[in-house]
Amino acid sequence: MPPRYPRDFYGHGPDRPDAAWPGGARIAVSFVLNYEEGGENNILHGDPASEAFLSEIVGAAPWPGQRHWNMESIYDYGVRAGFWRLHRLFAETRVPVTVYGVATALARSPAQVEAMQDANWEIASHGLKWIDYKDHTAGDEAADMDAAIVLHTEVTGSAPKGWYTGRCSQNTVALAAARGFDWISDTYDDDLPYWAQIDGRDQLIIPYTLDCNDMRFATPQGFNAGDQFFAYLRDSFDALYAEGGAGRPAMMSIGLHCRLVGRPGRVQALRKFIDYVQGHEGVWCARRADIAAHWVEAHPPQPRTNWHLLDRDAFVAKFGGIFEHSAWVAEGAHTLELGPAHDTPQGLHNALCRVFRAAPEVKRMEVLRAHPDLAGKLAAAKRLTEDSTVEQASAGLDALTDDERHRFDTQNSTYVAKHGFPFIIAVKDHDKAGIMRAFDRRITNDTATEFAEACKQVERIARLRLEALR
């Protein structure tokens, strides 16, 4: 198989589907609380060094073989004070919450887990430990994932239905999909959930966020004050809310951390944003489990073309006639670096046209000459390809009067004698009168101009044929 590009640059496409949120909501808002304190890097947890990520100590470095007392106490603030401040806020405002719970952190926080459950918060898994998995083998990461599921189940009483590692590897999503989670959030690539086909299984992905996230209080070029956080959340909400009003409802995720937004100087920004959201009609604040359940019901997975995964013979058999009697175009396209973005008419059309455009003029001339005369002798003898027969019939060229047929025959002969190839036009765009007007206009072109125009028409015909395959 030639190179195949795994990243999907098409997604929902230019016209994303109507999410059809419950109650006709214009936006779905998902508040996520990352519960990591007690699961971070620490030699007490068997790690080689202290934590250095997402704290008040911006630019901190790991301390190999040592406890970092200041870092630990900053994390401790999150569970001792920040969590309860956020718990009270969400309880007062009746906002549903999804928790990304690190299993070892949950195990060390029984009171907080009980409070989450009493509030009917969803507790998804945030892995066994809050560490970076980029350098782990797939086997080691899988072992930690399995251990996380076991520990999570012991601590909460039920297995997690959703998964988010965060500091993940290239294997994370596939490993999580193999374990049958209802949803996975280890992507940041869309404003709506979507189905990904992973190892033959349709997996629901609910993208997460790193921009509408209080982590930017702890990173360079991030938020310096609560009003910056509020302003960014408000502007993001306003943009998505307006899109929802225009018929394109989307989802907004807000990422939170007990030790960050749980500070007094920041929590008011979150309170202001919640008040702002609740001051709008048509807003669905939902846990990710609720969003997943809705998406499964309203937008179940659909059959995929997977054109880019066809082997050479199947690919050429399916697309070899898109350029008239010119299977070499499809053969060339199959050797390109195709990916999911080529599984649409416009995507595959681009690949086929690349091969056609890159070919020497003599090869492109062969394609032009492979096209039949419009309403000519091949049509009368019923020897057109199936595509050409349908296309000419759509413009009424299969039902000509004697005078019309005589005129077409005359024009065909004159055109071919002048240019050396038949007159080509995407007939779907025209009726008989329009085709004849184009004939009269183009027959006067010089051959170089007409060759370029004929090639454009061949590409247009190819696009229409691909669209008819969907």
DSSP state of 149: H
The DSSP code for 136 is S
* Location of structure tokens 């051959």: 447
> Which residues neighbour 326 within 8 Å (Cβ) at sequence distance 6 or greater?
320, 366, 367, 370
Burial of 59 (0-12, 13-18, 19+ CB in 10 A): exposed
Report helix, strand or coil for 355: helix
pLDDT for the residue 41: 80
Please tell me the distance from the alpha carbon of residue 57 to that of residue 210, in angstroms, as a whole number: 19
CA contacts within 13 A on the Cβ side of 68:
22
Would you say 159 and 198 are in contact if contact means Cβ atoms under 8 Å apart?
A: no
Give, to the nearest 10 degrees, the angle between helix 432-442 and helix 402-419: 30
**pLDDT < 50 regions, the chain:** 377-378, 380-381, 383-384, 395
| Residue 308 falls in the annotated catalytic set | no
- Cα 1 off chain centre by: 24
pLDDT at position 380 is 46
Residue pair 218/263 in contact by the 8 Å Cβ criterion:
no
Contacts of 210 (CB under 8 A, 6+ apart): 188, 255
Do residues 31 and 256 lie in contact, with contact meaning Cβ atoms separated by under 8 Å?
A: yes
What are residue 128's phi and psi, to 5 degrees?
-75, -45
CA angle, residues 170, 46, 162, in degrees to nearest 5: 40
Which pLDDT does position 378 carry in this prediction? 43
| DSSP secondary structure of 312-327 | HHHHHHHHTTTSTT-H
User: Which of 334, 371, 419, 430 does the annotation list as catalytic?
Assistant: 371
- Global confidence as pTM: 0.89
* Cβ atoms 37, 78 nearer than 8 A: yes
Number of Cβ within 10 Å of residue 118's Cβ equals 10
* CA neighbor of 35 nearest in space, from 81, 83, 92, 90: 83
Q: Are 172 and 133 in contact (CB under 8 A)?
A: yes
Q: Report the C-alpha gap between 438 and 415 in whole angstroms.
A: 12
Residues 354, 355, 361, 363, Cα dihedral to 10°: -160
How open is the CA angle 381-383-386, to the nearest 5 degrees? Answer: 135
CA–CA separation, 315 and 331 (whole Å): 8
